[in-house]
Structures are given as structure tokens and as C-alpha cells.
Structure 1
Amino acid sequence: MRSRIALILIFTLIIGLLPGCGQKAENRELTPVTVILDWFPNTNHTGLYVAKEKGFYEEEGLEVKIVNPGEGGTAQLIAAGKGDFGISYQEEVTYARAEDIPVVAIAAVIQHNTSGFASPADRNIKNPKDFEGKTYGGWGSPMENAMLKALMDKYGADFSKVNIINIGTADFFTSLEKDIDFAWIYYGWTGIEAELKNIPLNFIKLRDEHEALDFYTPVIITSEEKIKNNPELVKKFMRATARGYQFSIENPEQAAAILLKAAPELNSQLVKKSQQYLAAEYQADAPRWGEMKKEVWQKFADFMYQNGLIKKNIDPAKAFTNEFLP
């Protein structure tokens, strides 16, 4: 028995001395990876921060840096090689593909579109017909006009009777104090914030009003070049990221704490409640987190093309892939 134990101890010692063996993960040479966000850190991004904090990226041999966006859209930055992966949305990817900017969506962060047009209940905007005579606060995107018109046409309403004001990146609640009646929001953040502020909202969810508007927002993107030249890196990144979002689905309270650790400037009450809301939305009815459907990409691309938002239609099969989802 003693000789057997001695042999085990000697074997263990030898293994520990061999190059690369017995080393802690932090002593291994990690591959640097940069992820560019679409906006300031929020619960859309929690899975990324969880994967980083829990060591999921490190287990894949990756050293991930998460950065806020700079000038220009995320798609342009990723296509230009300024980052390896980015947070974008189907609208931006479709615009990019129509302009031959070679970016590809590799996961849907949230399975269904949780955005819509929100207004304080006292504005009495209950459906798109009620947009007539009201003031919309937007950021000057042609997409906004197309969506407003499509929804109003469905109800026989006159789009020309909407007063549209460009409020840029102004806060929704601040804008309401400046005679804005309604705006486009993500319910999982601004809608939850309204609940916390005890501001009753009427919320017209886009996916309930038009089938083409149940598009993926946000999505994770990378470049065609990255997929072609380093598919193994994409696989490793997505394997760890999927674990991060799965953890967030199963443990929203812990996930919220991790996000708040990374971004302590955020409202903790808002983050916690938003995380609870998104825990049920990240995967929703999909067979796995991140999976996307061709018909969703096709319908939304057709909508954009038919409304003159893109000069040419795109091949949806080239705009996204589920290949790298674990």
C-alpha cells in the first residue's frame, strides 16, 4: 500500500513539473477578445458579465474585455476589426448587409422583440389610431417613421397627423416633461423603471401589432472574416457566453449582483427587477438560448425593403447563423 501511495505522489509531482501541466487557469496564456456594447451596460448584457465574472471565458482560454461603444455603429466597428464581437440588433445588421458590410449575427440575446411605443396612461394612447394628433419623441431614424406608418395604416390612421420631434438620446421620463406624448422603449428596462416610479404606462408592443416587427433585438455579432479565419475562437466565445446567459436565466438575483458589481453606477432596484423580467425573455420559447429563425430575418428584411429603408434586399441566410451556439 505504501509503495502504491509513493508512486501516486511521485506521478503527481512529475505531472506538476511538466510544461503547461498543473498550472492554474490564470497562469495560462489567454487569447485577448474585445466585445463592443451597443449602449451603456444594462441587463441585455448581463450574460457577458456573468461569463467573465464566473470564469467561463477563462475556461475557454479567453481574456474578454467588454467596452462601451465609440463613434459609429457597432456593425461598422466590428466589420473594421475594432472589436471581435459586438452587441447590435437586427435592424442594424440588415442595414449593414444591404450596404455590403460583412457582419453576421451569431446569437439572439432576447428571443422576441420586447420593445414598443410607450406613453403615460393619461395621454390615452391605447392603439396606433391614437397616435393622430400626438407628439412622438424619437432619435431621427427612418425606421421609426416606417414603423409608425405601418402600425397606423393597419388601423386606418393618418401618419401625417403625428408630430415627430427628434429628442436624440434624451431620457424617456425627462422627455415626457417636454410635451412628448409617446416614445419607443424597451419594456425590460424603461418599462420596468416606469413601474418603479409608479408611472402607469400604455404600452403598444411591436410584436403584437405586426408579425414582421417581432425581430431580434439585441443580437451578438461578429465579422465574416472572424468566422472564416478563426471559427474556433467564435465557438469558444459563444460556448462561454451561452453559459453566462443560461446562468442569468436560472439565477436572476445572482446575475443582477454580478452586473451591479461591474457597473455599480446603475440603479440596483432597476437592475434586479429588470433581470427578473428578462430571465423569462432571454430564451422564451426557443429550444435553446440564442437560436434564430430564417423566417424572422426574411420578414423583417422584406419589411425594410418594401418601406424603402434599404436599397436592396438581403440574403437572410448570410445575415445570421446558429452554427456557433452550443
Structure 2
Amino acid sequence: MYQLIKAFVFLLLLISTSLQAQELKQVSLKTAWFEQFQFAGYYMAKEKGFYNDLGLKVNIHPFSIQNQEETVHQVNDGEIDFAVGKETLILDKAENKKIVILYALFQASPLILITTEESGINSFSDFKDKKIMASINDAKQVSIKAMLNAHNVKFTDLSFLPHSHDINDLINKKTDIMSAYISKAPFN
């Protein structure tokens, strides 16, 4: 009987060791902006081993301005498993992309429009014939469209410029208005 119990304990140890040694499932996650605090949870979960505890090896791919438009296509085509997106995902989903929207991180958009005091722009009515620097994603976002529509500003009344992500372009008058995140730009 002792030999049987000993064999059983050995078998349990062998099974539990082999279960722990199973290879972790590789998954990828792409962030929606440069490394900053809003993504700290993903990095901390990886660092603390929380993903490993769930059997996952998570590779976090940082944001790149050059390929920001590719993210939805990469998820749709199975090149990336997960991505942090923006409200434009609703439009992508409406275009029958094979994506699943899991949750809304922000309950309100952090996207704002900023200008300088010198510009003389004090309300939306002052936007007509002004240059607005916005990324392609920002210009497509529902929040900017809703802001402008709510104040009877037409897209055709604005001249959109590619975003340089350099606040000095606003200061040096290369643009009149710049899209930004309220969590960062006003504090630069």
C-alpha cells in the first residue's frame, strides 16, 4: 500500500510539473499611442506575471505614427490579437471588419482642440478659414466632428494639416488650431 501511495504522489507531482511547464500561448497587444501612463496597466500586468498566470505570453507592440492606420487591418487579418483603439472602431465595425470591441476605456474623449491667445480664436465661430493640425485619426474621430457640428462649423470651412505632434508648430503659427489630449498637451 505504501508503494501505491508513493507512486500516486509521484504521478501527481509529475502531472502538476508538466502542467506548469506547458508553453504559454503567445498573444500580441498594440497600444494606441506612445508609451505613457494610460498603458501602465498592460506593462505592469506583464511585469508582475499576471498574464503568465493565465497561460499567456503577451508581446506589447508600441504605437508608431507611420503605421497607425494599419492597426485595424492587422487585427482584422490576424497579425495582432488585441489592440487599443479609438472611437473610429465603431465605423470600422460598421464596415464589416472582423473585429470585436471589448470595452470602452474612456467614458469621454480626451481629445481637445487648442490654440494660442494670440490667435484671436475665442469660440467655434472664429474657426472659419483657419488651419487645424490633426492626425488622420483625429480628423476622422466622432468627437471632433460632433464638436464642430454642434457649433455649426463645417469641415469644408477648415484647412486640415497633417499633425506634427510638435506644440511649437502652434506657438510658431504654422497652424491656428491643434488637436491634442487634455491629459498631456496643455501641460507642455
The one of 96, 116, 121 equivalent to 1:120 is 116
Kindly provide the CA deviation profile for residues 204-224 of structure 1, in whole angstroms up to 9, marking residues without a partner as x. xxxxxxxxxxxxxxxxxxxxx
2:48 and 2:19 map into 1 onto residues whose CA distance is 15
Kindly provide the CA deviation profile for residues 125-166 of structure 1, in whole angstroms up to 9, marking residues without a partner as x. 33312323532112356636744640331xxx576553x142
2:104 and 2:155 map into 1 onto residues whose CA distance is 31
The offset of 1:82, in angstroms, is 0.3
What's 2:75 paired with? 78
The offset of 1:44, in angstroms, is 2.6
- How has the CA–CA distance of structure 1 residues 34 and 126 changed in structure 2, closer, same or farther, with 3 Å as cutoff? same
Question: Quick one: which amino acid aligns to residue 79 of structure 2?
Answer: K
The residue correspondences of 1:19-34 to structure 2 (distance < 5 A) are: 19-21=14-16, 27-34=21-28
1:16 and 1:64 map into 2 onto residues whose CA distance is 31
1:159 and 1:82 map into 2 onto residues whose CA distance is 34
Question: Quick one: which amino acid aligns to residue 84 of structure 1?
Answer: D
* Residue 102 (1) aligns with residue 98 (2): yes
What's 2:13 paired with? 18
The unaligned stretches of length 5 or more in structure 2 are: none
TM-score, normalised with respect to structure 2:
0.76
Q: Which has the higher helix share?
A: 1
SS at match of 1:53: helix
The one of 25, 44, 48 equivalent to 1:50 is 44
What's 1:137 paired with? 133
The offset of 1:109, in angstroms, is 2.2
The offset of 1:124, in angstroms, is 4.1
Q: Conserved in 2, the CA contact under 8 Å of 1:15 and 1:22?
A: no
Kindly provide the CA deviation profile for residues 81-100 of structure 1, in whole angstroms up to 9, marking residues without a partner as x. 00111111121x12212221
The structure having more radius of gyration, on CA atoms, is 2
The residue correspondences of 1:78-227 to structure 2 (distance < 5 A) are: 78-91=75-88, 93-140=89-136, 143=140, 146-147=145-146, 149-153=148-152, 161-162=157-158, 164-168=159-163, 170-176=164-170, 177-191=172-186, 195=187, 197=188
The residue correspondences of 1:247-266 to structure 2 (distance < 5 A) are: none
- How has the CA–CA distance of structure 1 residues 53 and 171 changed in structure 2, closer, same or farther, with 3 Å as cutoff? same
The one of 57, 64, 70 equivalent to 2:58 is 64
Question: Quick one: which amino acid aligns to residue 80 of structure 2?
Answer: G
- Greater relative contact order, per chain length (Cα 8 Å cut-off, separation 6+): 1
User: Percentage identity across aligned positions?
Assistant: 22
TM-score, normalised with respect to structure 1:
0.46
- How has the CA–CA distance of structure 1 residues 149 and 188 changed in structure 2, closer, same or farther, with 3 Å as cutoff? closer
The residue correspondences of 1:286-325 to structure 2 (distance < 5 A) are: none
Question: Quick one: which amino acid aligns to residue 13 of structure 2?
Answer: L
1:159 and 1:58 map into 2 onto residues whose CA distance is 47
2:155 and 2:99 map into 1 onto residues whose CA distance is 33
2:57 and 2:25 map into 1 onto residues whose CA distance is 6
Question: Quick one: which amino acid aligns to residue 71 of structure 2?
Answer: T
Q: How many residue pairs align between the two structures? A: 177
1:121 and 1:24 map into 2 onto residues whose CA distance is 63
What's 1:36 paired with? 30
2:176 and 2:74 map into 1 onto residues whose CA distance is 34
